[in-house]
Structure 1
Amino acid sequence: MNLIFVFADQWRVGAMGYAKEDPVLTPLMDRFCEESTYCDHAFSTFPVCSPHRASLMTGKYPLSAGFFTNCKKGLSLRLKDEEICVGDVLKKEGYDTAYIGKWHLDEAEQTYCAEPKSGARNWDAYTPPGVRRHGFDYWYSYGTFDKHLSPHYWENTDEMIQIHQWSPEHETDKAIEYLEEKRDKSKPFALYISWNPPHSIYSEVPEEYLKLYDDVKLKNNVRLGGIHHHTGEEAPMTEEEMTLTTKQYYAAISGLDKQFGRIIDYLKENDLYDDTLVILSADHGDMMGSHGLMGKHVWYEESIRIPFVVHIPGNDNRRCSTCIGSQDMMPTILGLLNCPIPDTVEGEDCQRFIKGEEDEERVSFICASPGRADFVEKFKKAGKDPATYGWRGVRTKRYTYVIELGYDVICKPKRYLYDNQQDPEQIHPLDLDTKENKMLARELEAKVVNWMKCQNDGFIDNWSREAAYE
């Protein structure tokens, strides 16, 4: 069986027509959902690009893979050569492997060189052939670059390929070209396609998709004034500005819908659809003004809940409501393809849930650490490990529970408990002074603490000193 794994950056689960949450037009994705297993409790374990991607590739929790933030200028951070990734396994198992689009798992070149020969700037990086590509043979990729209407890529040399075309459209062109011309047709193929939109810059979207959204209303929990949670930076937005940004976000997703439809059409027209495992997913979500926040890095549903739609040839349409996290995706893919799962994997092969079994008690652990380079530097100057601050939590089928130490060297511990069934927009955190809620919080905190112990997470030491329950 072949594999195509398509994932977008900063695409929240509600922003697809099939979810019936945001008013987004995605008819082709909706049809795909009707032919597949729609997982409505899939979560980004660490809702930031590089940590999720590290987990997606290795099957480890992000912190175990060494990721407490993005690969960015000024930090010596990348996916380690010795990590066993999904591409490594699939290549060994005889697959023709390919990666197209955003990678964001290599060190920013400007960390070490002011003017890299590749032309990479800021957080961007050219990943050369070899071990850093972790088993992917066909390569048409870049580190991270947010000018979606004028993207660039590298193949097997450090010569930058500059393009004047919307990046998802161009990457879909390259994916079809790979399927048609570049792959070894004597082998099964495994193709990963990583689209950057709907990630900001939001305005970088073709006009044809923007025209679809003339009458957009903001969600009830959108608060204008937008303070990005983990930076504390004020980003005031008027209602008009927030409405335009929302239109642009939705427009990008409608554009992705068209490109995804092209991929599915190609598979069906070439008799490949019934022999290909196709998965549609995302890195993490986007707050888009909910709770007065923009971006990700927080524990709200708009940030952590992501699409995870799995088409298994021969399987009927179904819905899976068991909690699944980033680290579960790699072993699940390998399990579905009947490939061996490395001993290094910390996630679980969840194919039995996707095929119809449910586990009401299964949970997804979630976390985030200081995200910006200047925050990291601030902690290091204070003699503190930035990876041991931020927040940790757990998402059960019904509840979200979070313990937070913040993003400052001097912090005040906080706890949050949300009933996502009774309060789906998480506007009213539960009162932890009541006996019932305190007992539930204790139970969930014990799960988080045990998970941190298994992870050797230094956060637990800080939390135990600062905020143990009386």
Structure 2
Amino acid sequence: MTAPPNIVVVLSDEHTPAATGCYGHPTVRTPNIDRLAAVGTLYESAYCASPMCVPSRLSLLSGRYVHDIGAWDNGVLPDPSVRSWGDHLRAAGYESVLAGRTHFNGADRLWGFDRRLSDDLEHWVDHSGRPPRRVPEWQRRTNSHVAETGVGEHPNTRHDETVTDLVVDYLTSRAQDGGERPFLLYVGYMQPHFPLVAAPEFAAWYDPSTVVLPPTRGAAPEDQHPVIAQLRRSFRNDEPLTDEQQRVATARYWALVSQLDHHVGRILDVIDESPLRDNTVIVYTSDHGEMLGHHGVWQKQCFYEPAVTVPLLVRTPAQARGAAAPARVAGDVSQVDLLPTLRGLAGLPADASLPGRDLLGATVEPRPVISEYHAQGMLDAGFMLKRGRYKYCAYVGHPPQLFDVVADPEERQDLAGDAAHAQVLAELDAQLRWHLDPDAVDHRAKADQRARAAAVGAQ
């Protein structure tokens, strides 16, 4: 019987796949992520379960949808009854190890894993469960996430360097002693999440004057869907930004992507230059994307492609040895598919309670993917169902949106009111409602957020 492989999962923060060489960007330098893609499997159309950090990560680590586990916002604490990757793979004899940014909250810093090499930066961990204020008047304090950029040192940079050092030490030790148990190692990075402060050596790679800005950046909020207009007001993305500011911010973001890629390279080197290459699966992904000014939006919190798509790369030992061919998968996949894939790698049977499927299984049939958002900037629940070329966005209390992302990749033309697409709209709405009741889920989310606000005395 073949021993199960070691598994290393690298999770960055806020990396839109379009800002990666292997996903086609002509400027952004990601040589190490690209070399992973060159011999592994690249998923061209991968989606997060929520375009927000904590909900996305809790969904990712549990293999279950946000509405299924009550992971509504960045303040929520994990439900201790929900099983994580570590819980699942323990049944196959794995040692499960966390390193760096997990961005889940509360005093339990393991959530089913065996141990940690390092933790989140403390100010990112909420121990109170405080929910966001989902009211029309709420606004982010500033739009510093785009207007304030820089070149130099930052705590995020030091965090990621420390994480890489610890991971390299761990992998080196495992390569030398072998160990009796296979390991699952989760590696969490801060970058390229804002603040957009990049190290000088990487900032020097990108001249802001050469940045090509998205043509939709000048969209006026009053001309946009009311949900997008409210989102922009809430995060102060309706405040005027010059093209120069946006070019500098984009260049700094690209530099942070390249900094991240450097850390990925150090991990690949220690694996590929040791016996680990022949028995270690490597996964690279991110918790969500970054809008970078598309439709006038920075950060995420919406269902446009730059926010809700993620890079997803998997390299098996057979691919590393050249015994299996590299691949590109065009069909839609979800990050809830990662846990069934990890279970398959570990030799565990399929778990019928999980909504995802093993991406490395014999047959991966096309199917819709779902994302959702229940936090600040969106007053009522929002849901996305993506099926092939069509994306359906349903908003409680507001009209839906429908996009053909093949014919209209910039998502400029909302087809929801087009009679020629009425049948598609109805089909996608029915598929979404087969999975969930939007109004009922919205009611649950708000009830939970009200209860948590009362518990901490929040207004």
Q: Give me the TM-score of the superposition, normalised by structure 2.
A: 0.80
C-alpha separation in 2, matches of 1:179 and 1:426: 43
C-alpha separation in 2, matches of 1:455 and 1:55: 20
Q: Counterpart of 2:173 in structure 1: which amino acid? A: E
Show the 5 A alignment for 1:308-457. Answer: 308-314=312-318, 315-342=324-351, 344-352=353-361, 357=363, 359-360=365-366, 362-371=367-376, 389-405=380-396, 412-430=397-415, 432-434=417-419, 436-453=420-437, 457=441
Specify whether residues 341 and 149 from structure 1 end up closer, same or farther in structure 2 by C-alpha distance, changes over 3 A only.
farther
Q: Provide the residue aligned with 2:257 in structure 1.
A: 253
Q: Provide the residue aligned with 2:205 in structure 1.
A: 212
C-alpha separation in 1, matches of 2:435 and 2:257: 35
Q: Provide the residue aligned with 1:93 in structure 2.
A: 92
Q: Provide the residue aligned with 2:169 in structure 1.
A: 177
C-alpha separation in 2, matches of 1:23 and 1:452: 41
Task: Give unpaired runs (5+ residues) of structure 1.
Answer: 72-76, 108-125, 153-164, 376-385, 406-411, 463-470
Report the secondary structure of 1:100's partner residue. Answer: strand
C-alpha separation in 1, matches of 2:219 and 2:429: 32
Specify whether residues 454 and 273 from structure 1 end up closer, same or farther in structure 2 by C-alpha distance, changes over 3 A only.
farther
C-alpha separation in 2, matches of 1:404 and 1:149: 41
Which structure is higher in RCO with an 8 Å CA cutoff and minimum separation 6?
A: 2
Name whichever of 30-39 and 452-461 sits farther off: 452-461
Number of residue-to-residue matches in the alignment? 398
Specify whether residues 22 and 285 from structure 1 end up closer, same or farther in structure 2 by C-alpha distance, changes over 3 A only.
farther
Specify whether residues 81 and 139 from structure 1 end up closer, same or farther in structure 2 by C-alpha distance, changes over 3 A only.
farther
Q: Counterpart of 2:118 in structure 1: which amino acid? A: Y
C-alpha separation in 1, matches of 2:10 and 2:270: 14
Q: Provide the residue aligned with 1:381 in structure 2.
A: none
**What is the percentage of aligned positions where both structures have the same residue?**
25
Specify whether residues 458 and 279 from structure 1 end up closer, same or farther in structure 2 by C-alpha distance, changes over 3 A only.
same
Which of 10, 17, 21 pairs up with 1:17? Answer: 21
Cα-Cα RMSD: 2.8
Alignment of 1:55 onto 2:71: no
Q: Counterpart of 2:311 in structure 1: which amino acid? A: P
Specify whether residues 403 and 453 from structure 1 end up closer, same or farther in structure 2 by C-alpha distance, changes over 3 A only.
closer
> How much does 1:238 deviate?
1.1
> How much does 1:340 deviate?
4.3
Q: Give me the TM-score of the superposition, normalised by structure 1.
A: 0.78
> How much does 1:458 deviate?
4.4
Alignment of 1:45 onto 2:15: no
> How much does 1:198 deviate?
0.7
Report the secondary structure of 1:280's partner residue. Answer: strand
Name whichever of 423-432 and 188-197 sits farther off: 423-432
Show the 5 A alignment for 1:219-298. Answer: 219-223=214-218, 228-229=231-232, 231=234, 233=236, 234-298=238-302
Task: Give unpaired runs (5+ residues) of structure 2.
Answer: 125-149, 222-228, 319-323, 447-459
C-alpha separation in 1, matches of 2:343 and 2:122: 27
Q: Provide the residue aligned with 2:116 in structure 1.
A: 138
C-alpha separation in 1, matches of 2:188 and 2:375: 25
C-alpha separation in 2, matches of 1:263 and 1:318: 22
Report the secondary structure of 1:351's partner residue. Answer: coil
Show the 5 A alignment for 1:178-193. Answer: 178-181=170-173, 185-193=179-187
Specify whether residues 327 and 144 from structure 1 end up closer, same or farther in structure 2 by C-alpha distance, changes over 3 A only.
farther
> How much does 1:149 deviate?
4.4
C-alpha separation in 2, matches of 1:99 and 1:184: 19
Report the secondary structure of 1:418's partner residue. Answer: strand
> How much does 1:432 deviate?
1.9
Report the secondary structure of 1:174's partner residue. Answer: helix
Per residue, is there more helix in 1 or in 2?
Answer: 2
Q: Counterpart of 1:359 in structure 2: which amino acid? A: E
> How much does 1:196 deviate?
1.1
